[in-house]
Structure 1
Amino acid sequence: MSGSSRVIAGRFRLGELLGTGGSASVYAAVDGRTGLGIALKVLHPHLSERPAAREAFLAEARRAQPLRHPHIVGVLGVGVDHDGEAPVAWIALERAAGSSLSQHVARNGPLTPAHAVAVIDGVLRALEAAHAIGLIHRDVSPSNVMVVPDASGALASDGVRLLDFGLADATGTAAIGTDDLLSVDAKGRAGVMGNVNYMSPEQVRGMPVDARGDVYQAGALLHFALTGRPPFPCQTTGQTLRAHLEAPPPLPSASDGSIPRGLDRVVVRAMLKDPADRFPSGAAMRAAVA
């Protein structure tokens, strides 16, 4: 897909490519109706041509559309552009400032405990708002958390926003997969799949996922923020999946002895295999972090 010369749905003029994944690409864009700069998520062409994939992509965004919260990148609209040779499914999103947590850590290294606590506080506040309307994110990972340092370079909770509810769904819906993809099987059934490094055990098994699945992922995210590594950095996808199912939760302090043991305890409880043993909610985890 070309850049600034392309207009989607007669209103969104595409700019630079912001990122791409297994199912979609995200572009900077200008909304011709409002003049506002936004982010436009466009389903890859081979998936946009398939009705089941288009509907899965758009249905997830529609569920997230009511969410308006200071720590969440909002969904502004969804649709399908039928003006070209093939349909193009799109989701218009608020344009978040800053960089992703994964980019920030790649540039600057692991966060200090204080900065990691600030980031996870913002993420958990976002999850509380989503869970309050029965929405589970299911892809809480460093690439889906935007951070904006203040003038001194410090990270505060106010500068944290959770984005991409593309895997979000109503409470209890199963999520199956091994990579950050949206798939359609031979019978045309669509399914969303999360980031293998941050999947909860129940998500790996294809079981229903509730708020405690997001708690598991928040624990894995906190581990990454503190250490710069995912909790189970294995060589293969299969090994990582088995680790989520079988390996004990990792201790961040094993990578850096200066990390407080209290944060070890938070990560371990959040990442216990049985959802019943974890923090029951994002609010409960946030209280423990505080």
Structure 2
Amino acid sequence: MAFEIGQRVGDYEIVGILGKGGLGQVYEASHVISQRREALKALLTQERSGEEVGERFRREIQLLGALSHPNIASLHNAFYHDGQLVMVMELVKGKTLRDKSVRTRIPVPQVLQYTCQVLSALDYAHQRGVVHRDVKPTNIMITENDQAKLLDFGIAISERSAELTAPGFMVGSVSYMSPEQIAGDKATSKSDIYAVGVMLYEILTGRLPAKGESNFEIMRSHLSERPVPPQEVDPRLPQSLSVAILKALEKDPADRFATARDFLAALEAIPQTFIDELLSSPTRTMAVPSSGSFNLGISGSPSQPRSSQVAAFPLDDVTKKLAVFIGPIASVLVRKLAPKCANLDDLYKEAAMHIPAEVDRQRFLRSKGTSRP
């Protein structure tokens, strides 16, 4: 059943249509009492969806109900309305990683930041037995606060639950699908790791690792062709990053990273030398889909750096404290912000704006009291 704008659905009023998820229509809704805006997802009509899809929708609700992570869109409620199952979720405003990578030029350290956030979300889900099975740029939303949110657990499975899809059938998106999924085997956490490797390869090089003019050719490439090393596509990529991506893309799941946390750790170990290189090469660019190249965002501040003032800032100390909340990209961010700030208070305030969670922003701001002069 489709809902209309202005229609009352339980305690919610439909105020807009956001689009379609894997299993149903998604609306923007306002709670009639609190006036909080949320995302309301309703299963497609039974005639169009079928019994299995209805069971998938219930499973998505149950899986999300067990997850609470800052990089996963959270479930708020679920109920029946006139026999129609409805899910109420956190309203995530922003752009998908696909839209952002095509329409804008994402700084490479920022790409790594988003990827690390997605891997953190997956590590959390995997530890609770949940496999997403459809990780791709369109299922990752980048919020207005520059935080990555993993969306659409519509075909996710629990390792402790029975598989709905019969053996030999595939679910997911072919371009990001692991070899074992293509072969009809059950997806595991290693399948999600492979999908993240595909996504990172694509955004950094401007091409997919598995090539083909048809789904059949793409599937064959996933199964039997080794991808061109990312560093060969763009020699400016550091070898350690290229090696990490290729490890995630190994055909045999046993040869990939053991966990999403291990993949995340490998990425976090890369940027310091990479960032130092970027800082010394402000005009460096890299490929991006459909647009040739993009600037890494290290081209300097519009205002001239006040060298004596910046030298007085405890930049290493600020960077170390900021990195606790946003990872290695803190090094680039602090050095970009410092020339724009009149004093250390301003630097802390500007840096805090790049921390997604309010509670973490406050913790970071309080840490200024312990900075060395």
Match of 2:86 among 84, 90, 113: 90
1:258 is aligned to 2:236: yes
Match of 2:134 among 136, 139, 147: 139
SS of 2:103's partner is helix
Q: Is the 8 A contact 2:73 2:149 kept in 1?
A: yes
Deviation of 1:276 after TM superposition, in Å, equals 0.2
SS of 1:147's partner is strand
User: Which residue is 2:204 aligned to?
Assistant: 226
User: Which residue is 1:270 aligned to?
Assistant: 248
Deviation of 1:38 after TM superposition, in Å, equals 1.1
Alignment of 1:116-127 (within 5 A): 116-127=111-122
TM-score normalized with structure 2 length: 0.64
Which structure is higher in RCO with an 8 Å CA cutoff and minimum separation 6? 1
Alignment of 1:63-102 (within 5 A): 63-81=63-81, 83=82, 87-102=83-98
Deviation of 1:118 after TM superposition, in Å, equals 0.5
Q: Residue type of the partner of 2:90? A: E
Cα distance per residue 1:116-169 (max 9 Å; x no partner): 21011100110111111111111111011111366xxxx5xxx12212211221
The change in CA–CA distance for 1:192 and 1:277 in structure 2 (over 3 A counts) is closer
Larger % of helix: which?
2
SS of 1:212's partner is helix
The change in CA–CA distance for 1:4 and 1:102 in structure 2 (over 3 A counts) is same
Q: Is the 8 A contact 2:101 2:203 kept in 1?
A: yes
Q: Residue type of the partner of 2:13? A: R
Q: Is the 8 A contact 1:75 1:93 kept in 2?
A: yes
The change in CA–CA distance for 1:266 and 1:254 in structure 2 (over 3 A counts) is same
The change in CA–CA distance for 1:211 and 1:22 in structure 2 (over 3 A counts) is closer
Q: Residue type of the partner of 1:97? A: K
CA RMSD between the two structures: 2.6
Q: Is the 8 A contact 1:138 1:167 kept in 2?
A: yes
Q: Is the 8 A contact 1:19 1:27 kept in 2?
A: yes
SS of 1:146's partner is strand
Q: Is the 8 A contact 1:58 1:79 kept in 2?
A: no
TM-score normalized with structure 1 length: 0.81
User: 2:173 & 2:250 partners in 1: Cα distance?
Assistant: 18
The change in CA–CA distance for 1:113 and 1:174 in structure 2 (over 3 A counts) is farther
Q: Is the 8 A contact 2:46 2:54 kept in 1?
A: no
Larger % of strand: which?
1
User: 1:88 & 1:216 partners in 2: Cα distance?
Assistant: 36
Higher Rg = 2
1:165 is aligned to 2:160: no
1:42 is aligned to 2:36: no
The change in CA–CA distance for 1:38 and 1:217 in structure 2 (over 3 A counts) is same
1:244 is aligned to 2:232: no
SS of 2:154's partner is helix
What are structure 1's unaligned runs of at least 5 residues? 177-184
How many residue pairs get matched?
Answer: 265
1:280 is aligned to 2:280: no
Deviation of 1:52 after TM superposition, in Å, equals 3.1
Q: Is the 8 A contact 2:176 2:195 kept in 1?
A: yes
User: 2:15 & 2:257 partners in 1: Cα distance?
Assistant: 42
SS of 1:166's partner is coil
What are structure 2's unaligned runs of at least 5 residues? 269-373
Q: Percent identity?
A: 30
Deviation of 1:21 after TM superposition, in Å, equals 4.8
User: 1:19 & 1:126 partners in 2: Cα distance?
Assistant: 23
User: 2:222 & 2:84 partners in 1: Cα distance?
Assistant: 35
User: 1:78 & 1:231 partners in 2: Cα distance?
Assistant: 39
Cα distance per residue 1:229-272 (max 9 Å; x no partner): 43325322222222221221343334433222222111110011
Q: Is the 8 A contact 1:48 1:89 kept in 2?
A: no
The change in CA–CA distance for 1:240 and 1:34 in structure 2 (over 3 A counts) is farther
Of the structure 1 ranges 20-29 and 139-148, higher mean CA displacement relative to structure 2 is found in: 20-29
User: Which residue is 1:182 aligned to?
Assistant: none
SS of 1:167's partner is coil
User: 1:62 & 1:54 partners in 2: Cα distance?
Assistant: 13
User: Which residue is 1:107 aligned to?
Assistant: 103
The change in CA–CA distance for 1:90 and 1:233 in structure 2 (over 3 A counts) is farther
